[in-house]
Amino acid sequence: MGIDIGPIEVTDGLIVQLDAGNTRSYSGAGFTANGLVGGIVGTLVNGVGFTSSNNGSFIFDGTNDYINFGNSSTLQQSSGTLSAWTKTSSAGSGFRGIIAKRLAYGLFYADNVLVAYDWGANTTRSTSINIADNTWKNVVMTYQSGVSSGTIIYLNGVSILTTTITISDQTSNLFGGAEAVATQYAACQISSFNMYNRALTAQEIFQNYNATKGRYM
């Protein structure tokens, strides 16, 4: 008789995966978080903290903490998927980055509301949902630059906004816990970051949510 191990995360197209709860990715101390796929390394800057709760998460102080993923050609994707598990009671006023690459793509808290930013149109794409209730949230964005209605934001596996973003420039680094070029630092916890080189389907987003949600319940 087989053993039901439950859903597993989608790996097709996965190019970045950092997980504070996996000791192969982060030991719980130090300035480097190793990528579990693809060789992308995250550098912890200005005292990013760590807690072992919920099997491990990074703590960002909202003042100057961030993780720097660099800007290798792997990260210069015109279509893809961003995903993070995050928690805050207040990320801070204005824009605060969750995972963001300036002028390209990103997910933010904006006065604690989950948003993306369309640099091509110089406008905010808002879900109108305040997610700062001190519970863990899985936030995901699939994007296809310049495609009308080609960008979808998901919250806990469910689509909450279909919109459009257009990438303006790919020269900035990718950051976690901030958009550090604009000093938009989030006061929050983030346990994991995933990035894919393709837009996942709604079914795949829900599969990933189900595969990881048990850690936060």
Mean pLDDT of 49-54: 95
Nearest to 69 by CA among 32, 20, 113, 94: 32
> Is 4 domain-assigned?
no
Mean pLDDT of 33-52: 96
> Is 205 domain-assigned?
yes
Question: Quick one: pLDDT at residue 2?
Answer: 44
Question: Quick one: pLDDT at residue 5?
Answer: 52
Which range marks the domain in which residue 175 is found? 14-216
For strands 187-196 and 57-61, give the pairing: antiparallel
> Is 5 domain-assigned?
no
The one-letter amino acid at 21? G
> Is 107 domain-assigned?
yes
> Is 1 domain-assigned?
no
**Residue-wise pLDDT tens digits, 170-210:** 999 999 999 999 999 999 999 999 999 999 999 999 999 99
> Is 18 domain-assigned?
yes
Question: Binning pLDDT at 50, 70 and 90, where does residue 7 land?
Answer: confident
Least confident of 4-8, 17-21, 37-41: 4-8
> 159 CB contacts (<8 Å, ≥6 apart)?
152, 153, 202, 205
**The domain spanning residue 79 has which CATH number?**
2.60.120.200
> Is 144 domain-assigned?
yes
Domain count, the chain: 1
> Do 87 and 189 contact (CB within 8 A), yes or no?
yes
> Is 2 domain-assigned?
no
Q: Report which DSSP code applies to 44.
A: E
> 122 CB contacts (<8 Å, ≥6 apart)?
none
> Do 61 and 183 contact (CB within 8 A), yes or no?
no
**Residue-wise pLDDT tens digits, 144-176:** 999 999 999 999 999 999 999 999 999 999 999
Strand-pairing partners, residue 152, are 142, 162
Instruction: Answer with the residue of higher pLDDT: 217 or 44.
Output: 44
Question: Binning pLDDT at 50, 70 and 90, where does residue 100 land?
Answer: very high
Joined together, the tokens standing for residue 211 give: 């595969």
Question: Quick one: pLDDT at residue 217?
Answer: 82
Question: Binning pLDDT at 50, 70 and 90, where does residue 1 land?
Answer: very low
